[in-house]
Structure 1
Amino acid sequence: MRTHYCTDVTEKNIDEIVTVAGWVNSRRDHGGIIFIDLRDRGGLVQLVCDPADNKDAWEVADSVRDEFVLIATGKVRARGEGLENPNLVTGKIEIVVDNLVIENRSKPMPFELGDEKVNEEIRLRNRFLELRTEKSYEIFKLRSTANIAVRNCLNELGFLDVETPILTKSTPEGARDYLVPSRVHPGEFYALPQSPQLFKQLLMVSGFDKYFQIAKCFRDEDLRADRQPEFTQIDVEMSFCNQEDVIKVAEKLIHDTFKACGKDVPTTFPRITYKDAMEKYGSDKPDMRFDMAMVDVIDIFANSTNEIFADIAKDTKNNRIKALRCPNGDNIFSKRQMKGFEDYVRKFGAKGLGYFQMKEDGLKGPLTKFFEDADLEAIVKSTELEVGDVVFFGAGEKKTVCDYMGRFRLYLAEQMEIIPADTYEFVWVVDFPMFEIEDGKTKALHHPFTMPNLEKCDLNNVEDLEDIESIAYDIVLNGTELGGGSIRIHKEEVQEKVFELMGISNEEANEKFGFLLEALRYGAPSHGGFALGFDRLIMLLAGTDSIRDVIAFPKTQRAQCLLTQAPSAVDNEQLKELSLRIRKTEV
């Protein structure tokens, strides 16, 4: 049908007859001669329809409008002197059309392609149109390149691509399951997988040694810019390995994928413990593109004559007083702005926010009266203050303080515009706690199949469950959790003990995970792995702010597809076949 893509037509084709096809990007009538910019996946080429050359083709061109689909045949010629377009690959030539076919017409567009100001709801409702833009095409070209690079890398390392079930058993994995009712088993349900976690462990028990899958996962959870109800992850598992083996594979995979996408990143990444990440950056996914680490000054504030600070400083296990140095902040922010920062941190549980300004003659601020000169000097030394700096303080319960001061760190960096663009800063967060306690319930921080670090603890003699470390690791890129994994429990007695510590009875464990526990009784190898969020990876590679930009047909933050109007009601006959009935609730 066509001999060339639009951007394949160059000066080398001058005087040749070519056929191109695509969409009308724009149409211009210059004194009876019609110029059409035709667009396909590669870009634009200019068509010229002159009645003096071919009246039939000109008459067709006269009826053409934006986004019509055309097939054009004509001779390539050089553009006239001074008429070249240096912004186009095809800017030195044009095609003089002698045959023009309208393959299809287009309704008037609901929005101008590429207009970033268009409401997202309108764009998602017409997603098939938004995907016509060069930006969208480049994103999905990048995604395809990354997909192929992942497969090539893991194939080279001897991993086997295995598909695991989409219809599976509902198991507690942190988020709500999407349930699928069974027609042939009335009253019973499948669940869509939150991850292939259990199946990839079963594949290790099966002796497959190295598994991977670019897997679809489903989680019914509250959404935000980097979450979707259905998403894609690179899932990897391997046998007879330790943490170093797994991290080595993950680093090679990431390096090779970025390289294939034209990005240069290191072959190994730095590491930080979970404890240090929380204490210094207030987050288990610290953004390492800039410094501004928090410093704990609770021992200095213990000497304060302020009763609130002194009382908080009595409990160094459960409380924290964090200092955050803001370089040159005294010259950047006014006193009014600095006082206004308190409103920001209060949104995240802070009861207040103190600060000192570093002047030529020492620290100044309303809090100085509560400290001796020696303590003020200790603050300057511990936070490495220089003249012109400001240091902010948060005090209170450990988790709350670390959280809001970590958020405040990012907020300040954004306000100061010190976060570098086009930079990729990776960091491994390691030595995660095995458990966290919420509302009196013990939960696995990663998942209950994560191996505790048995070299550092005795599961039969534990004083504080939150002190148990796991062999788990997350990879973070520019403050976004790209993925993570762990060494898995492969011994039945260890798995049973973990369930016991979580308050899961043998009956409950067998009901929910019986098939895995049974498999562990048949010679399970030591194994571990990781998963990377493929959509998040592409989002960061493409430099876009929303995961919806890198998914062909995404859902909204309310988990709706505006294009297809899903989810939608079904008729009563379908419900009857599934033994379901809709119960109306009063609002």
Structure 2
Amino acid sequence: MRTHKCGELNKDNLGESIALCGWVHRRRDHGGVIFIDLRDRAGLVQVVFNPESTETFAIAESVRSEYVLRVEGVVRERLEGTVNANMATGEIEILVSHVEVLNESETPPFPIESDIEVNEEMRLRYRYIDLRKTSMLEKMKIRRDVTRNLRNFLDAQEFFEMETPILTKATPEGARDYIVPSRTHKHSFFALPQSPQLYKQLLMMAGMDRYYQVVRCFRDEDLRADRQPEFTQLDIETSFMNEDKIMAIMEDMMCNLFKDVLNVDLDKPFPRMTHAEAMSRFGSDKPDLRIPLELVDIADEMKDVEFKVFSGPANDPKGRVVALCIPDGAKLSRKDIDAYTKFVSIYGARGLAYIKVNDRNGGLEGLQSPIVKFAPAEVWEAVLEKTGAQTGDLIFFGADKTNIVNEAIGALRVKIGLDLGLLEGVWKPLWVVDFPMFEWDEKSQRWNAIHHPFTAPSCSEEELKADPGAALSRAYDLVLNGTEVGGGSIRINKTAMQSTVLDILGIGKKEANDKFGFLLEALKYGCPPHGGMAYGLDRLVMLMTGSSSIREVIAFPKTQSAACPLVDAPAVINEEQLKELHIRLHKPIVSEEA
């Protein structure tokens, strides 16, 4: 039907007779001559209809936006003064000799190219139209390029691309499973995989040595901008490699990716930071290193002050008191400070104390704040010295339980850095290492795994049993600009250690055998040392395209309520299907009056 794509043509094609197919992007009638910008996946080209060609001109007069056309014509150079430097094909145009309307179109529910903001649910309901936008098409192209590059790199490194089951068994991986009832096994259920974790470990036990997969994963959890109930993961596993070797290969892969797709050179090796240092300096295990602000501990300075808001957490082993110095922050208005106070309340902070440094050498008189009177001058001098504050700066304070301070002031650090344009550099990758193995859940009075139950500890089995809270894991996360794009670890490869970890997590022998019996059995048969990583492909593409949400880089995403407006899913199924699946619904009782 066509000889070329619209966006492929240039001056090298002058004089050629060509055929194109595409959508009417824009139609203009200039004094009897009709111009149409024809669009396909490759881009736009201007096609021209002269009134001398009566039949084709009449058709051109009838077409409207988003009609699908096939045109034949000759490539010619645009007249002087009409070249469009904003179009790749802007130096040429097509003089049409024949046109065919392949399909008409109703007026789209929203403009294809416009600055008008369209409700996201409307965009998702008509996603096939939304995807016609140039910006969306570019994001899909980058996603394709990213996936192709990663596959090519791993193929060259002798990784096997292998598929693992989608219908599997429910396992505790931190989120709720999507459950699929079995028709052939009465009262039994499959689960959709949260990740291929156990299968890829079994592949290492099978001697596959190096595996990867671009795989769909499913988690029934509350959604945020970077979460979806179904998402794409680049899953990787290797045998006979320690964490240093795995991280080195992953760095090569990321550098190759950014150079090939974005023409960006990432510096190697990526810096490494322990989990403890990241939490201390930035209040986050995924710090954005582009932002130069850091949290400074001032508990020692506040232990003896009369101000209980500070002295209480300063003397509490589970508390923390920090200062965050904002260069030139004294220019922030009371309205700005109130907005930041409201922001930290989202994370459980009960307020946001501050000091404006109007004159660094002016003692108490040089400080402006309601809290200055609650501590002697020498305390504030020590705080100014420790934070490096200068005239014109502002210091925010956080004082509460450690987790609240970290979350609230850590998030505040990022928000202020973005609001005030304090970013240094464009891309800042970072490895975060030495995570704790477990965290204590006060509510359930039990240990939870920081990563997953199959992560190897960096200590012996005896040391792990003696003090689970002190144990560090052999895990590593790759953070890019404050977003975790990948995480991995060396896995447990011995039955005794795996049983010990499950026992610490409160998973008894019967439950362990019911859920992981196949894994514990497999570990007995010569399991090699192994480890790997998983990358959130959607998140990675989101960052590389500068998008604000992973929904922008997924062709058919779900809404924040995990629904699909396009096909109206999830949907009710009929009684016959329910009976086949041995399912009876308990519908809510509705009163006669209602």
Please give the range of the TM-score, normalised by the shorter of the 2 chains: over 0.9
Shift of 1:289: 0.9
Which residue of structure 2 aligns with residue 89 of structure 1?
A: 88
- What amino acid is aligned across from residue 206 of structure 1 in structure 2? A
Task: Tell me the amino acid that sits aligned with residue 496 of structure 2.
Answer: E
Identity %: 47
1:358: which partner in 2?
Answer: 357
1:543 lines up with 2:546 in the alignment:
yes
Task: Map 1:561-580 onto structure 2 (within 5 A).
Answer: 561-580=564-583
How far apart in 2 are the matches of 1:111 and 1:497?
58
Greater CA drift, 338-347 or 131-140 = 338-347
Aligned partner letter, 1:163: E
Alignment of 1:228-377 (within 5 A): 228-262=228-262, 263-315=264-316, 317-330=317-330, 332-339=331-338, 341-360=340-359, 361-363=362-364, 364=367, 365-377=369-381
Q: 2:503 aligns with which of 480, 483, 500?
A: 500
1:413 aligns with 2:417: yes
Conserved? CA contact 2:291–2:414, under 8 Å: no
- Alpha-carbon separation, structure 2, partners of 1:575 and 1:216: 26
Paired residues of 1:231 and 1:535 also in contact (CA < 8 A)? yes
Q: CA deviation at 1:425?
A: 1.1
1:533-559 C-alpha deviation (Å, 9 max, x unpaired): 001000000111010111111111111
Counterpart CA distance in 1 for 2:261 and 2:129 is 25
Letter in 2 for 1:222: D
Normalising by structure 1, what TM-score?
0.96
State whether residues 213 and 236 of structure 1, in contact with CA within 8 Å, keep that contact through their aligned partners in structure 2: yes
Return the offset for 1:217.
0.4
Q: How far is the alpha carbon of 1:122 from its aligned partner?
A: 1.0
Contact 2:363–2:377 at 8 Å: present in 1 too?
no
Residue 325 of structure 2 aligns to which amino acid in structure 1?
R
Amino acid corresponding to residue 357 of structure 2 in structure 1:
M
1:78 aligns with 2:83: no
Offset of residue 340 of structure 1: 5.0
| Alpha-carbon separation, structure 2, partners of 1:312 and 1:14 | 76
Contact 1:457 1:468 in 2 (8 A): no
Q: Is residue 380 of structure 2 the alignment partner of residue 379 of structure 1?
A: no
Q: Find the counterpart in structure 2 of residue 143 from structure 1.
A: 143
- Note the residue ranges of structure 1 that are not aligned, 5 or more in a row: none
- The alpha carbon displacement at 1:368 in A equals 2.8
For residues 80-127 of structure 1, the C-alpha deviation after alignment (integer angstroms, 9 at most, x for no partner) is 232222222222222111111111111111110133501111111110
1:164 corresponds to? 164
By how many angstroms is 1:570 displaced? 1.4
Three-state SS of the structure 2 residue aligned to 1:323 is strand
Show the counterpart of 2:176.
176
Contact 1:286 1:476 in 2 (8 A): yes
CA distance in 2, matches of 1:86, 1:236: 44
**Per-residue deviation, 1:164:** 0.4
Q: 1:452 aligns with which of 449, 453, 457?
A: 457
1:336: Cα distance to partner? 4.9
Contact 1:114 1:130 in 2 (8 A): no
Q: Specify the alignment match of 2:198 in structure 1.
A: 198
Query: What is aligned with 1:395?
Result: 399
Q: Distance in 2 between matches of 1:109 and 1:346?
A: 42
2-structure distance, mates of 1:89, 1:343? 47
Quick one: distance in 2 between partners of 1:475 and 1:563? 34
Q: Given the superposition, is the C-alpha separation of residues 395 and 72 from structure 1 closer, same or farther in structure 2, using an over 3 Å criterion?
A: same
Structure 2 equivalent of residue 477 of structure 1: 480
Counterparts of residues 19-98 of structure 1 (less than 5 Å) = 19-52=19-52, 54-98=53-97
> 1:467 Cα shift?
2.1
* Aligned 8 A contact 2:485 2:536 in 1: yes
Determine helix, strand or coil for the equivalent of 2:528.
coil
SS at match of 1:528: strand
The verdict on how the C-alpha distance between 1:120 and 1:339 changes in structure 2, with shifts beyond 3 A counting, is: closer
Quick check: 2:542–2:548 contact (8 Å CA) kept in 1? yes
Q: CA RMSD in A?
A: 1.7
For 2:320 and 2:570, locate their aligned partners in 1 and report how far apart those are by CA, in whole Å.
46
Contact 2:431 2:478 in 1 (8 A): yes
For 2:410 and 2:474, the matched residues in 1 are separated by 25
How far did residue 327 of structure 1 move? 0.8
Length-normalised TM-score, structure 2 = 0.95
SS at match of 1:143: helix
Tell me the distance in 2 between the aligned counterparts of 1:31 and 1:71.
24
Whether the 8 Å CA contact 2:541–2:553 is kept in 1: the answer is yes
Contact 1:456 1:469 in 2 (8 A): no
Q: Give the corresponding residue for 1:131.
A: 131
1:270-324 Cα offsets, whole Å, 9 max, x none, are 1111111112211111111111110100001113132443333223x31110111
Q: In the alignment, what sits opposite 2:98? A: 99
Aligned residue number for residue 433 of structure 1: 436
User: 1-side partners of 2:465 and 2:18: how far apart?
Assistant: 78
Instruction: Call closer, same or farther: CA 1:195–1:80 in 2, change over 3 Å.
Output: same
Per the alignment, do residues 102 and 356 of structure 1 end up closer, same or farther by CA in structure 2, a change over 3 Å counting? Answer: same
**CA–CA distance in 1 between the matches of 2:139 and 2:38?**
21
Q: Secondary structure at the match of 1:460?
A: helix
Say whether the 8 Å CA contact 2:275–2:285 is kept in structure 1.
yes
CA contact (8 A) 1:219 1:229 kept: yes
The verdict on how the C-alpha distance between 1:270 and 1:86 changes in structure 2, with shifts beyond 3 A counting, is same
Q: CA deviation at 1:455?
A: 5.9
* 2:74 alignment partner, SS class: strand
Q: What's the secondary structure of 1:376's corresponding residue?
A: helix
Whichever residue aligns with residue 453 of structure 1, its letter is S
Shift of 1:529: 0.7
**What is the alpha-carbon distance in structure 2 between the residues aligned to residue 147 and residue 413 of structure 1?**
32
Q: 1:339 deviation in Å?
A: 4.9
Separation of aligned partners in 1, 2:101 and 2:335: 63
SS of corresponding position for 2:355: strand
In the aligned structure 2, how far is the partner of 1:225 from the partner of 1:235?
22
Q: Is the 8 A contact 2:461 2:497 kept in 1?
A: no
Letter in 2 for 1:145: D
How many residue pairs get aligned? The number is 581
Contact 2:24 2:66 in 1 (8 A): yes
Helix, strand or coil: the match of 2:464? coil
CA distance in 2, matches of 1:92, 1:112: 26
**Once the 2 structures are TM-superposed, how far is the Cα of residue 137 of structure 1 from its aligned partner?**
1.4
> What is the Cα deviation at residue 362 of structure 1?
3.2
Is the contact between residue 292 and residue 422 of structure 2 (CA under 8 Å) also seen in structure 1? no
The one-letter amino acid paired with 1:541 is M
